[in-house]
Amino acid sequence: MKVLVADKISAKGVAWLKKQQGFDVVEAYGSSPAKLLELVRDVDAIAVRSETKVTAALIAAAPQLKVVGRAGVGVDNVDVEAATERGVIVMNTPGGNTIATAELTFTHLLCGARPVPQAAASMRSGQWDRKTFSGSELFKKTLGIIGLGRIGGEVARRAQAFGMRVLAFDPYLSPSRAKAMQIEGVPLDDLLAQSDYITVHMPLTDDTRYMIDEAAIAKCRKGVRIFNCARGGIIKEAALVAALKSGHVAAAGLDVYEDEPLPAGSELRTLPNVTLTPHLGASTAEAQDAVGVEVAEQIADVLNGGVVRNAVNMPTLDAATLSVLRPYLDLGSKLGTLVQQISPEQVASLRITYWGKIVELDANAITRAILRGWLLRISGDNVNFVNAPFLLERLGIKYEVIKSTGEADYTELIQVEATGADGAVRSASGTLTGKASAPRIVSINGREVEVVATGKLLIIENSDEPGMIGYVGTLLGRDRVNIANMSLSRQEAGQTALMVINLDSEPSEAARRELKAHKAIRLAKFVHL
What CATH number did the domain enclosing 388 receive? Answer: 3.30.1330.90
Q: How many domains does the chain have?
A: 4
- Residue 96's pLDDT band (boundaries 50, 70, 90)? confident
Regarding whether 344 and 298 lie in a shared domain, the answer is no
pLDDT tens by residue, 193-247: 999 999 999 988 888 999 999 999 999 999 999 999 999 999 999 999 999 999 9
- For the residues 450-458, what does the mean pLDDT come to? 91
The DSSP result for 467-489, as a single string, is: THHHHHHHHHHHTT--EEEEEEE
Output the pLDDT for position 394.
81
Q: Do 394 and 430 belong to one domain?
A: yes
In a shared domain, residues 191 and 303: no
Whether the bond between 327 and the residue before it is cis, its omega within 30 degrees of 0, is no
Are 87 and 194 members of one domain?
no
Q: Which of 426, 453, 480 is the last residue of a domain?
A: 453
- In tens, the pLDDT along 27-67 reads 999 999 999 999 999 999 999 988 999 999 999 999 999 99
Q: Where are the beta strands (DSSP E) in 82-183?
A: 89-91, 142-146, 165-169
The reply to whether 130 and 79 lie within a common domain is no
Report residue 527: phi and psi, to 5°.
-125, 135
State how far the Cα of 371 lies from the Cα of 352, in Å rounded to an integer: 10
Cα angle: 207, vertex 105, 185; to 5 degrees: 55
**Res 78: pLDDT:** 93
Same domain, 74 and 221: no
pLDDT, tens digit (0-9, with 9 covering 90-100), for 154-196: 999 999 999 999 999 998 787 878 888 999 999 999 999 999 9
Domain that holds residue 460: 455-529
Give me the active site residues, please.
231, 260, 279
Residue where a domain stops, chosen among 414, 436, 453: 453
Q: What are the pLDDT digits (tens) for 235-248?
A: 999 999 999 999 99
CB 495 within 8 A of CB 482: no
CATH of the domain at 527: 3.30.70.260
Q: In what order do the strands lie in the sheet with 496-503?
A: 483-490, 496-503, 456-463, 521-528
Q: Domain check: are 361 and 245 in the same one?
A: no
Rounded to whole angstroms, the Cα distance separating 243 from 249 reads 5
Q: Shortest CA distance to 387 belongs to which of 96, 103, 184, 66?
A: 96
**Phi and psi of 42, rounded to 5°?**
-130, 25
User: Are 173 and 32 in the same domain?
Assistant: no
Percent of the chain with pLDDT over 90: 67
Give the residue from 453, 478, 509 where a domain finishes.
Answer: 453
Backbone φ, ψ for residue 102 (5° rounding): -65, -40
* Distance from the first to the final alpha carbon of the chain: 35
Whether residues 246 and 102 fall in one domain: yes
Q: Is there a single domain that holds both residue 338 and residue 190? A: no
Give me the CATH number covering residue 126. 3.40.50.720
Distance, in Å, from the CA atom of 318 to the CA atom of 66, rounded to the nearest integer, reads 13
Examine the pLDDT at 305 and tell me if it is beyond 80: no
Residues 6+ apart with CB under 8 A from 203: 147, 230, 231, 379, 380, 381, 382
- Under 8 Å CB-to-CB from 358, ≥6 apart: which residues? 328, 366, 412, 413, 414
Q: Are 111 and 199 in contact (CB under 8 A)?
A: no
Q: Are strands 496-503 and 483-490 parallel, antiparallel or unpaired?
A: antiparallel
148 and 34 share one domain: no
**For position 318, what pLDDT does the model report?**
62
As a whole number of angstroms, the distance between CA 284 and CA 434 comes to 51
Same domain, 119 and 169: yes
